[in-house]
Structure 1
Amino acid sequence: MTTYCKAGLALAVLLAVSSNLLAQQDMGKGLDSIKVVAPGATLRQVSSQFTFTEGPAVNKKGDIYFTDQPNDKIWRYDTDGKLSLYMDKTGRSNGLYFDKKGNLISCADEKDELWSISPDKKITVLLANFQGQRMNGPNDLWIDPKGGIYFTDPYYQRDYWERKKPDIDGQKVYYLPKGKQEAVLVDGDLKQPNGIVGTPDGKFLYVADIRDSKTYKYQINADGTLSNRQLFIPQGSDGMTLDSQGNLYISGRGVTIYSPAGVKLGNIPIPSRWVGNVCFGGKDRKLLFITASESVYTLPMQVKGVE
């Protein structure tokens, strides 16, 4: 009986290992079929010590900063592959983005504000409300070439809030012009906007309406307003980024990549329950960094990021 149990256990272990190797091989084959992924590249799990990771942003050096929002922390993954805690007590930061001066701009939804965190970690509140009303919960953002901030403001009930309903009717997209203290409503006709990113020339903006499973493309006008809204793809997203070829990367069930024409190039499967966001980093900007629930992953790419 003992011999049989040991043999059975050994067989189970062998089958599990074989199954895992086959899964990795299948993933590898799948990744090789996506033209923007580096040949032979494999997905690497950097760490799984978090609760829910979000908001990756890259600085000028290529270091990546991201949030673990339930634990109210910002982490850094540097170009040498070192992971370290950057900041504790972050105002429940979610989406992040670096401005041209190296300040880390944050969607801090503990009090539903936009923050600027300087390199020496001095905090400046850029936006505290909209026309005197508390925001729903700034979620994701993108900074245009002029220094203006586009951000989404969906409502996700937080357990650290005392309120149980939003002050503002509807879930919308706003623009905060550089140097201003009052935001401008740029699209109020969405169910639940979430991921957002713009082209580096400042001409177009992508916004995901995650509840409606749609992603829109807008033309950005000279005054920062939006026009010519068009359905780009019938898929929503939690977070988004662009590469140097204009391909759009959207998160959720893995990372799905679309060409500038909206043609699906492929899906990068991620072994976590949900992918919150994605960005490019590294010294050459060719490392795809993926925040996925309890984990963060990296994947070498053939293309560069533009953020």
Structure 2
Amino acid sequence: MKNLLIFQFSIFFLILSGVYGQTLSPIEDGAKPQLISDKFEFTEGPASDKMGNIYFTDQPNNRILKWNAETDLISVFMEDAGRSNGLFFDDNENLWACADENFELWKISPNKKIEVILDNFSNKNFNGPNDLWIDDKGGIYFTDPYYQRDYWQRTSADMSERRVYYLSPDHKMVKIAAENFVLPNGIIGSVKDEILYVADRSKNKTFKFKIEENGELSQRELFAEMGSDGMTTDNEGNVYLTGDGVTIFDKNGNKIDHIKIDKKWTANVTFGGKDQDILFITASDAVYKLKMKTHGMRWFRK
């Protein structure tokens, strides 16, 4: 009898685990990625403003576009956009951009005034800022890999190191936040600004760091055996990595779902929409949206 009870309990536990596993997915039941438009060359860097509109780049065409969350329409926000890649809004609605045409970090005001905030480290050009994340204090972390661009005159980097940098909230000090990467790319912070995730595409790994009070990073650990181009997180602590579609991991690094995108490469992802529950996906020449059960945290932190 005792063995029978143990067996029955084991079966019940397995069934419960199966049901629980199914509920882990943050994707709205029955929802599928919906194509918004495929009229671009290569889309990247999605970022949500306070209204849930998404700004993203079409880097080969050197422009930033805007998806209107209410009308579902796309318009051009800025031409001559410095070959911007990663984007992120600060609390004052300035759009920050990794403008790698001239290896710069830009701040774009709501009226589209461009200010070059950084263009070098220790008097050497950056390799080409790629992606960024702004913490709750206004400090900025950005990745600086090296991807040789056909629009550059240079054929080699000024610096051999591929790093993550940190710009202080007052924008007066920039320092090395993390190094020993091959190609640091996607970057995002956790729900409570406690953890920073950094993907190394060349190593095909994503790492996590503890964010200290002064902005420094510590306790580097492997998070997932998968690299990523861009990434995002949600209110449940799930982490979304891109490349072959979008792969979703829980906060412990366990894979919980995969979003198939019928494109050669999925570059980046973020949350938007008026309730921040629309997953906006940039993939090759297209952008998609997907209804989620969870929501993004950019405009819920305040």
**Does the residue aligned with 1:194 lie in a helix, a strand or coil?**
strand
> For residue 24 of structure 1, what is the aligned residue in structure 2?
none
> For residue 213 of structure 1, what is the aligned residue in structure 2?
204
> For residue 195 of structure 2, what is the aligned residue in structure 1?
204
- The CA distance in 1 between the partners of 2:100 and 2:62, in whole Å, is 10
Cα deviation for residue 35 of structure 1 reads 2.0
- The CA distance in 2 between the partners of 1:198 and 1:266, in whole Å, is 20
Cα deviation for residue 42 of structure 1 reads 1.9
1:40 maps onto 2:30 in alignment: yes
Does structure 1 retain, via aligned residues, the 8 Å contact 2:191–2:237? no
Cα deviation for residue 33 of structure 1 reads 8.0
Does structure 2 retain, via aligned residues, the 8 Å contact 1:127–1:182? no
**Does the residue aligned with 1:189 lie in a helix, a strand or coil?**
coil
- The CA distance in 1 between the partners of 2:191 and 2:102, in whole Å, is 30
> For residue 183 of structure 1, what is the aligned residue in structure 2?
174
Calculate the TM-score normalised by the size of structure 2: 0.90
1:205-252 per-residue CA deviation (whole Å, 9 max, x = no partner) reads 000011001101100111111100000111100000001100000100
2:258 to 256, 259, 267: 267
- The CA distance in 2 between the partners of 1:40 and 1:202, in whole Å, is 32
Cα deviation for residue 165 of structure 1 reads 0.3
Which residue identity lines up with residue 154 of structure 1 in the other structure?
A: P
Does structure 2 retain, via aligned residues, the 8 Å contact 1:150–1:175? yes
- The CA distance in 1 between the partners of 2:85 and 2:38, in whole Å, is 18
1:65 to 49, 55, 71: 55
Which residue identity lines up with residue 179 of structure 2 in the other structure?
A: G
2:45 to 51, 55, 63: 55
1:98-144 per-residue CA deviation (whole Å, 9 max, x = no partner) reads 00000000000010110000000000111111010000000000001
Q: For 1:1-307, what aligned pairs fall within 5 Å after superposition?
A: 35-80=25-70, 81-307=72-298
Calculate the TM-score normalised by the size of structure 1: 0.88
- The CA distance in 2 between the partners of 1:33 and 1:269, in whole Å, is 19
Which residue identity lines up with residue 272 of structure 1 in the other structure?
A: K
Does structure 2 retain, via aligned residues, the 8 Å contact 1:142–1:198? yes
Cα deviation for residue 34 of structure 1 reads 6.7
- The CA distance in 2 between the partners of 1:162 and 1:176, in whole Å, is 27
**Residue 295 and residue 34 in structure 1: after superposition, are their counterparts in 2 closer, same or farther (change >3 A)?**
farther
Does structure 2 retain, via aligned residues, the 8 Å contact 1:279–1:305? yes
**Residue 220 and residue 33 in structure 1: after superposition, are their counterparts in 2 closer, same or farther (change >3 A)?**
closer
Which residue identity lines up with residue 68 of structure 1 in the other structure?
A: D
Cα deviation for residue 200 of structure 1 reads 3.5
Does structure 1 retain, via aligned residues, the 8 Å contact 2:42–2:284? yes
Which residue identity lines up with residue 49 of structure 2 in the other structure?
A: N
**Does the residue aligned with 2:112 lie in a helix, a strand or coil?**
coil
Cα deviation for residue 181 of structure 1 reads 3.8
- The CA distance in 1 between the partners of 2:217 and 2:201, in whole Å, is 19
1:62-83 per-residue CA deviation (whole Å, 9 max, x = no partner) reads 0000000000000100111111
For these two proteins, the number of residue pairs brought into alignment is 276
Does structure 2 retain, via aligned residues, the 8 Å contact 1:113–1:125? yes
State the percentage of identical aligned residues. 50
**Does the residue aligned with 1:70 lie in a helix, a strand or coil?**
helix
Q: Which runs of 5+ in 1 are unaligned?
A: 1-31
- The CA distance in 1 between the partners of 2:284 and 2:23, in whole Å, is 26
- The CA distance in 2 between the partners of 1:264 and 1:42, in whole Å, is 19
**Does the residue aligned with 1:115 lie in a helix, a strand or coil?**
strand
Does structure 2 retain, via aligned residues, the 8 Å contact 1:127–1:181? no
- The CA distance in 1 between the partners of 2:26 and 2:192, in whole Å, is 21
Question: More deviation in 86-95 or 180-189?
Answer: 180-189
Does structure 1 retain, via aligned residues, the 8 Å contact 2:266–2:283? yes
Q: How large is the RMSD of aligned CA atoms in angstroms? A: 1.1
**Does the residue aligned with 2:60 lie in a helix, a strand or coil?**
helix
